[in-house]
Amino acid sequence: MVMDELKKLYADYTGTQAEEVRELPVLSGSDRRYFRLCGVKNLIGVYGKSAHENSAFIYLSGHLREKGLPVPAVYSYSNDKLFYLQEDLGDATLFDVIEHGRTSGDFNETERRLLFQSISLLPSFQVLGAEGLDFTKCYPQPAFDRRTVLWDLNYFKYCFLKTTGIDFIESRLEDDFQHMSDVLLQNRFTTFLYRDFQSRNVMIKDGEPYFIDFQGGRKGPIYYDVASFLWQAKANYPKSLRDELLNVYLNALRSYMAVDEADFHHRLRHFVFFRLLQVLGAYGFRGHFEHKTHFIESIPYAMSHLRELLVDDFDDYPYLCALLRAIKPFSVALKRSDLEVKIISFAYKKGIPADSNGNGGGFVFDCRALTNPGKYDQFKDLTGLDEPVIRFLEGDREVDAFMNQASLLVDASVKRYIERGFTNLMVCFGCTGGQHRSVYCAQRLAKHLQKTFRINISPFHRELLTINN
């Protein structure tokens, strides 16, 4: 049904049928579904359950593009606005591109350039984006106000704080929440609040940043977006880099308004605190209630930021600060599932691997329809673990389509296996010789599952043992 609607939109817009449609994996908290439609023009098809939210995105996309800001164009949408087609910006997010820096703590020049470039554009979104904007079209509220502040604080209370099991006096906590609302709203603002300005929502295309997921934007203070970007839980920016990025932002902001740095830093600190509470609520809901493991994994990072922030007291919120300090050991233990996914590459001519756990097997994916690197002399003595073979297969669109579909199937089973307490799942990839395609696919799935779930993953390349021995 969803694909059929998007195919119809594609055909109506381009005048031709889509040659290929594949669903894209989504690791965000969104309920929207994304599809890549390939043909005379590659487009991203989107299905969202909320017509109001979709309408906000469509409107804001057009408005921000008119201001010259790098956001995806929306080309077509259904009458009910549940489906729309937007510009295809590729698959590389800024979060992915800075992986080396995030994991090592040492951000290279390319990573730093893209980070500086991204945050230097934020004031343009906030100031130019507000000019002529009809805020009544924003979703779910036209402005950052007391109601939205208290929504987020109660999100934190019910979806995170209560899950820690810590005892607290709700009336005293609510007193601090009311005071925080007063502090955050004490200044009048006329700027555009992006709402979720962070590296996962920055796409890198042709070496340049483009910005997505602004459908929650509304009128609001500039500090919130700065806090969202610089204190993103898993981005892992060292303080020195965060300070540099903040200076880049402030210099760009001076093109639009005078900046009192002391006042800015004072107000920003309160918004950092508030934003961290908001994301903890989101992580708690998505992780504990929707069982999305990667959100649970982000909790210790956010708690680490809070610990750093609370080195100096917030006199305005004494009870809340005391509660946060009482959470021991100031992190959330990550529960690793007992599920083990064994991922095996094999050669069909030597038979499909047997399941040693006695469960009768699992997924078996046939890679033989994919282009075989083994037919080329330069790859014959290499395997799917070698960089030249990896680059060759990553450049093949059919390999991407194959792996996207395989990953969606396996992800669905892994989620259900975790929920039901199962301990074993086997996934096999077979090709002609068990040397190139199957090995690459097995490794790629292993890496994907490692990033998505806290499970035990055991890749095993059966035929490479024979080759190496």
Q: What CATH number has the domain bearing residue 19?
A: 3.30.200.20
Is 122 a domain residue?
yes
Same domain membership, residue 63 and residue 99: no
Same domain membership, residue 171 and residue 31: no
Is 334 a domain residue?
no
Rounded to two decimals, what is the model's pTM?
A: 0.73
pLDDT of residue 333: 46
Q: Residue 235 has what DSSP assignment?
A: G
Is 335 a domain residue?
no
pLDDT of residue 328: 66
**DSSP notation for 431-468:** ESSSSSHHHHHHHHHHHHHHHH--SEEEEEEHHHHHHH
| CATH code of 259's domain | 3.90.1200.10
Same domain membership, residue 186 and residue 77: no
Residues of the chain with pLDDT under 50: 330-334, 468-469
Same domain membership, residue 278 and residue 238: yes
> What are the Cα distances from residue 204, in Å, to 86, 90, 220, 444?
16, 8, 26, 21
Residue 211: its H or E element: strand 208-211
Pick the last residue of a domain from 42, 66, 87. Answer: 87
pLDDT of residue 335: 53
Residue 363: its H or E element: strand 363-366
Domain of residue 55 covers 2-87
Same domain membership, residue 303 and residue 219: yes
Q: 455 near 339, Cβ under 8 Å?
A: yes
Is 195 a domain residue?
yes
Strand order in the sheet with 33-38: 20-24, 33-38, 43-47, 83-87, 74-77
Please report how many Cα atoms fall inside a 13 Å half-sphere around the Cα of residue 72, on the Cβ side.
27
Same domain membership, residue 111 and residue 10: no
The four Cα atoms 200, 203, 209, 210 give a dihedral, to 10 degrees, of -110
Is 47 a domain residue?
yes
Structure-block tokens of residue 80: 């009910």
Same domain membership, residue 266 and residue 163: yes
pLDDT of residue 358: 66
Phi, psi of 83 (to 5 degrees): -130, 140
Same domain membership, residue 189 and residue 73: no
Q: In the structure, how many helices (H) and strands (E) does the chain have? A: 17, 13
CA distance 284 to 296: 7
Pick the last residue of a domain from 326, 356, 376. Answer: 326
Structure-block tokens of residue 196: 């979720």
Residue whose entry in the numeric block shows the structure tokens 């990953």: 407
pLDDT of residue 276: 96
Is 331 a domain residue?
no
Q: 275 near 198, Cβ under 8 Å?
A: no
Q: 116 near 243, Cβ under 8 Å?
A: no
293-309 helix and 437-452 helix, angle to the nearest 10 degrees: 50
Same domain membership, residue 241 and residue 201: yes
Is 333 a domain residue?
no
Taken as a whole, the chain contains a residue count of: 469
pLDDT of residue 331: 45
Is 308 a domain residue?
yes
Amino acid symbol at 348: Y
Count: domains in the chain: 3
CA distance 210 to 188: 29
Same domain membership, residue 386 and residue 277: no
212: helix, strand or coil: coil
Same domain membership, residue 69 and residue 101: no
Pick the last residue of a domain from 297, 326, 355. Answer: 326
Same domain membership, residue 180 and residue 73: no
pLDDT of residue 163: 87
